[in-house]
A and B are shown apart, each in its own frame.
Chain A
Amino acid sequence: MKELAERAVETARLAGADYADVRVLTVHDQQIYVQDLSPKAIQDMTDAGIGVRVLKDGAWGFASISRHDKRSAEKVAREAVAVAKASALTVWKDKVTLAPEPAHKDRFETKVKIDPFSIPIQDKLAILLQINRTMLGVGGIVKAFGTMRATLRHQFFASTEGSQIETLITTVNASYMATAAGKGDSQTRTFQEYPMNKGWEHILAQKLEENARRIAEEAVAKLSAAYPAEGKMDLILNPSHLSLTIHESVGHATELDRVLGYEANFAGTSFVTLDKKAAKFRYGSDIVNFVADNNLPGGLASTGYDDEGVACQRWDIIRNGIFKNYSSTREVAPLAGYKRSFGSARADSYASMPINRIPNLSLMPSPKSISPDDLAADVKNGVWIEGRGSWSIDQRRLNFQFGGDMFYEIRNGKKARMLRDVIYTSITPEFWGAVDRISGRKYWEARGFRNCGKGEPMQVAQMTNGGPWIRVRKIKVLRGKK
């Protein structure tokens, strides 16, 4: 890998690149899908290639190839320079200038106690099939799905600035879902994906099999649950649910490339415009603190370095409700006055150019030992929401609408009867401004995503969006059914 990377960097330099970086990458991905009692797919995938990114006359060029040989490395390096020359035809001002980053020579590897690829496929299948068997044994369940995935991403990064960084990132996840049908309705309940950069030990810790019957029984119970009353009411949201709200309304909104218009044609822009930093924009209530931390143990964006060789960091996004910082790449950081990138450039394969991605972004817990039940204690009329459901947000990340996976009514401070088909809608700063209580550290969870879509060509990225339980006052609740 090192030799190929060096060859490509040198070829790009000789071809006239002002700057070049190269990622030589091999991804080993094992995915298992089970539907009912059928092992639907057992896939062992290896995707390998070289991606070369160059700057020439202030413009980008990128070329990639699914091969690992010297001739291919040279070919794509020269092609990237040619592409950059074409890009430069459009760049008569605003030439790309990269925020400085020291040259790093390093190696980073995910801490793994049990190699997930060492676990026989038979054992993984046995777990998933047993879970499905258990769920299908519950009366009313018509469908069971289960999945397990392990990925090892081995990358060698090198640049004309002298960086040479080898990373080995291991990610695992498992989830399953039961569908109940009857009484003219169909309801699902999911043991939700909880991916982390860890080994098989993370799968073992989730107690997958122990929860299967409960998940199935809850899916069936949802068929008889009441529909919510509509109107403004208080919400109690759990970390699994909240991870998506955080991701969509804070994570994407504070990506600096969106703010600057780089995603205007696809993923959208952001309401968190550059003036909001100096204006100390109030994003949420005083108790709302968001921290980005790409060194979070087990975090999906904890990779040692990002995909342009910037060391992973920890920084404030929102402190005491006030907006503080964006996530950034080396290209966009200087455009907002930053002297160094926060290290949020990620590419989903050797064939993609790194783009600004959400870091490991978490809502900080309360320093007090507040439990979820404490949050509900003085709620007269509210809804308790667990897990992720339907989700949608406008392109500037303001108007959003979320569902969930499990709902309960809250009556006079107590969790009461089960509900179904609950959705709620709000405007981002109004929502975070209405957060009036947050649970303690004991209830904080590092939930995350492996499928965050952005960019053209579309790329998927992974990041952790952790959080505690929260209480939000007077949010508009709707019934997701006619």
Chain B
Amino acid sequence: MNIDWLKETIKRIVKQKKTQEASILLQVENENLSRFAENRITQNTTRHRINLYVKVCHERRSGQAETSDVSSRGVLSALRKAEAAATASPKDPEFIALPGKQHYLKVERFFPQTAELPVDVKARVIREITAEAASRKMKAAGIYRSGDYALLVANTKGLVTEHRWTQAEFSITAQTADSTGSAVAEEENVAKINPQALAIEAFRTAEMGRNPKELKPGTYKTLLTARAFGEIMPFVIYQMDRRAADEGRSFFTAKLDKKILSKKISMVADPQTPTNPGNPIDLYNDGVARKEAAFIQEGVLTNLWTMRYWAKRQRIPLVSPSFNFSMVGGTRSLDQMIKRIDRGLLVMHLWYIRYVNPMELILTGTSRDGLFLVENGKIKRAVKHMRFNDSPMRFLRNPLSMGVPERRGGAMMLPSVLVSDFNWASTTTF
């Protein structure tokens, strides 16, 4: 499936459609995910998957259909189903017509070495790493994933585009009898991932985590690694909905253009960021071109994301929703950040984060795979895991220090953050 197929298909739809407008979105996935646990591969999943989404618009109505059958007959069938759905719908007071031709930012995210990574090469890496885990009397679990993906979007108003990319991910959790340590990297280019180094990091953290002792819950100076911070920030992004703010049901209500965070905090979404490239197509908004958008500049809330209808109604520029963003940080490594702590906690990874109070953006979750007491700039001992209840909108008003930004989740560049009074609310038994 390529751009020629896309152009041919949309041409055919122009002739076959019974509605005013139509669009198609094709998602292609060719992926292998080798999963290991207990020092061996426990699952090994290969997928060749194609899904076509058809949307039609007619007299302020719309309908959608999805199919995995991309033959001419399959596409026509999906078109007719979408038309039936649209016909069944009453007129939509929030209807918005499909966008026209777009100019997309050029983003290179396809690396043949990732797409072509053989499954047996991954198995050999896993064999080497799990053997090392066994020699350390540890158990290793994780994944080694690689694949190539494509998005092809076209509509009857002249929008035609495709974006192809590759992605690889290696993650590992090392377990001892009473501790765990983990590490993960996700990149378009598999050459940027070093599974052996990640494994060593996980082994070292698990080793340091042995014999954890309980610490009384309370507020502690806490260093969130870039990974842990990157697990919190998507919950902030999700809430940055302009409509929710305008309707008075969000933390961000009446906060635009106001200073809400420390001057140290800036956050920009730009798919062309060389160290953090992203998908240039806004799939939340009928395939329009994503543009660079600054959400927070030196602590001032400068933008919230919108959907096309709301942007038009409020007569404001469209800002695409995106979990692909970059934050400004400092120059210190994690070790240098640790040296700045007189007494506090270092949290490696956070788990099961959920909203407690969306209006205050209070989140909860627990530490995982390493929580350490730091004294006089050195890791003193492991601490039994704890649950936090806190708001990033509170602790980012005055962070003590920020580290060098790192790429996390294959989409975010963000730093480690040292917080003066992170609220650890309760403890668990391990």
Contact = CB atoms under 8 A, between A and B. Distances in A.
12 contacts: A39-B89, A42-B64, A42-B85, A45-B65, A90-B39, A90-B40, A262-B38, A265-B171, A351-B47, A392-B354, A425-B387, A480-B356
B296 interface: no
Interface string A40-72: 111111111100000000011111111100000
Interface in A388-432: 390-396, 398-399, 401, 403, 421, 423, 425, 427
Query: What is the interface residue range for chain A against chain B?
Result: 35 or more
A45 B389 CA distance: 39
A90 B88 contact: no
Contacts of A456: 33, 35, 43, 143, 145
Nearest to A52: B46
A119 B119 CA distance: 47
Nearest to B71: A67
Interface in A433-482: 456-457, 476, 478, 480-482
Contacts of A90: 36, 39-41, 123, 126-127, 130
B352 interface: yes
Nearest to B121: A86
Contacts of B425: 401, 425, 478
Contacts of B368: 268, 394-395
A482 B394 contact: yes
Given A83-B44, A262-B38, A421-B357, 12 more contacts: A38-B94, A38-B95, A42-B88, A43-B65, A86-B41, A86-B122, A89-B124, A394-B366, A398-B429, A456-B33, A457-B31, A480-B362
B338 interface: no
Among B62, B175, B351, which residue has the most Cβ atoms of chain A within 10 A?
Answer: B351
A61 B35 CA distance: 11
Interface in B349-387: 351-360, 362, 364-366, 368, 385, 387
Given A392-B365, A399-B366, A423 B43 contact: no
A67 to B, nearest CB: 8
A349 B85 CA distance: 24
Interface in A91-143: 91-94, 120-122, 125, 129, 142-143
Looking at chain B's contact residues, the main secondary structure is strand
Contact of A61 (B44, B81, B353, B360): B44
B247 interface: yes
A181 interface: yes
A63 B428 contact: no
Interface of A: 35-49, 59-67, 76, 79-80, 82-87, 89-94, 120-122, 125, 129, 142-143, 179, 181-182, 185-186, 260-266, 268-269, 271, 351-353, 355, 390-396, 398-399, 401, 403, 421, 423, 425, 427, 456-457, 476, 478, 480-482
B41 A43 contact: no
Given A185-B359, A394-B366, A399 B427 contact: yes
B257 interface: no
B51 A481 contact: no
Nearest to B387: A399
Contact of A427 (B69, B118, B359, B429): B429
Interface in B42-82: 42-51, 61-69, 78, 81-82
Top 8 nearest A-B pairs (CB, nearest first) are A399-B428, A121-B88, A45-B66, A264-B141, A181-B248, A38-B94, A66-B68, A186-B249
B37 A268 contact: no
Nearest to A481: B357
Contact of A457 (B33, B66, B95, B430): B33
